[in-house]
Amino acid sequence: MKKRVYLMTAISAVAIALTACGGNSGSSKSGSTGSASGSAVSSGSAATGSAVDNGAVIEFNPSDYIEKLANYKGVEYTKVDTVVTDAEVEEKVKEFLKNYPEKITDREIKKGDTVNIDYEGKKDGVAFDGGTAKGTDLNIGSGSFIPGFEDGLIGKKPGETVDLNLTFPKDYHSEELKGAKVVFTVKINYIVGKAPKKLTDELVKENTEFATSADYEEDVRKKLEESKKDAAKESIQREVIEKVVTESAVKSVPKEAEDRYYTQIMNYWNNLAAQYGLKLEDIVKNQFKLTEEEFDKEVKAQATNSAKQLVVVRAIAEAEKLEVTDDEYKTALNTYYENSGAKGSIDIAAYESQVGKGNLMDLILLDKVGAYIVKNGKEVAAKTETKTK
């Protein structure tokens, strides 16, 4: 029996569109229908957006789809530890210190060194795409760059600018650069030394908003605590909602919701593949070890599960008179906008149009219902594994 691949959680299926920022968000009203009928793996049609994925509020009566709503009061959930240890704070401090290594400038570069460089690559005197960068760390001898690049820096010193006359390999992935003769102009900034072993007031004051190392570490601990509490809240709410959905009897789901989730999940995987210069069928075949038909079946199953969850959440909200207020919507919209990375490219109105008010409303309601179930639930200690002889 083939092991099932869990492609997307139900909660993630609702949230996918909210992380979009510019480009192909799936909010366009043109293109393919994105329906749950037929495969979108080869054609990539789901990634082009659709009318069913326009993000409008999906209207339906939950009682038309639910045969029996499970008891959502008194649901047990597992206690999640949110205590921040000194070791965790220390690890974050080490990550900070790695950003400020010693900058060595008084000796020649040798194999094994990591150097910080600026470079520009030109073909026939014209800079080519992907051939220019600043402040890049390069380990000499790693083979990260084309043959001759790293060797050409050995024996040079920081502060020097070097022209490297090189030839791209004949089997290079870019058609434009296969076997091409190019010139890289490389400025050597410094040899990357060891990171500081200790956090000092001076280092903190020069590179952060804090005056002392103690203040910085206190802020690190505070942010770790907030992060753990947020993660715990999400984990607990996911646990209780999944329990209630599993124990409820849902006779069918709204097709509009099922189609929207199918399209959003397909958008996610198509766009992810495109980011790595791949086609979705490559990921399906090589990473998931599935046929296109098997993958499509999995996506449809996840879309149905997400629609089922929506039905149950709406039913509980209706029973308990839980609604999303205008203030809650505005606050959530602003939070998602700030966290999405879209702020620099589009305004908040364009972002709202892109992700869809319905998607955001559903996510806020999901959070309210999850919080209600937890508030009326029962915390239990995590089960400890017993060792068998």
**pLDDT tens, residue by residue, 179-208:** 999 999 999 999 999 999 999 999 999 999
Residue 28: per-residue pLDDT:
34
Burial 166-175 (b: 16+ CB within 10 A, else e): bebeeeeeee
pLDDT tens string 331-345: 999 999 998 888 888
Classify 129 as helix, strand or coil: strand
Other CB atoms closer than 10 Å to residue 199's CB: what's the count?
A: 20
Q: Tell me if residue 133 falls in helix, strand or coil.
A: strand
Cβ count near 383 (within 10 Å): 7
What is the spatial distance between Cα 306 and Cα 36, in angstroms, rounded to a whole number? Answer: 13
pLDDT attached to residue 1: 39
pLDDT at 211: 96
pLDDT in tens, 224-252: 999 999 999 999 999 999 999 999 999 99
Q: Where in the chain is the domain with CATH 3.10.50.40?
A: 103-192
Closest CA to 149 of 164, 132, 168: 164
Q: Of all residues in the chain, what percent carry a pLDDT higher than 90?
A: 74
Residue 380 in this model has a pLDDT that exceeds 60: yes
Residue 20 binned pLDDT confidence (cut-offs 50, 70, 90):
very low
**What's the rounded mean pLDDT across residues 66-76?**
97
Fold adopted by 103-192: Chitinase A; domain 3 (3.10.50)
Mean pLDDT taken over the chain: 87
User: What CA–CA distance (Å, rounded) separates 236 from 378?
Assistant: 11
Locate all alpha helices (DSSP H) within the chain, ordered by sequence. 10-15, 86-97, 201-207, 213-247, 255-275, 280-286, 292-320, 326-340, 348-355, 357-375
pLDDT of the residue at 175: 86
The overall pTM is greater than 0.85: no
Lowest model confidence (mean pLDDT) among 28-32, 148-152, 174-178, 276-280: 28-32
Question: 96 CB contacts (<8 Å, ≥6 apart)?
Answer: 199, 216
Residue % of the chain over a pLDDT of 70: 85
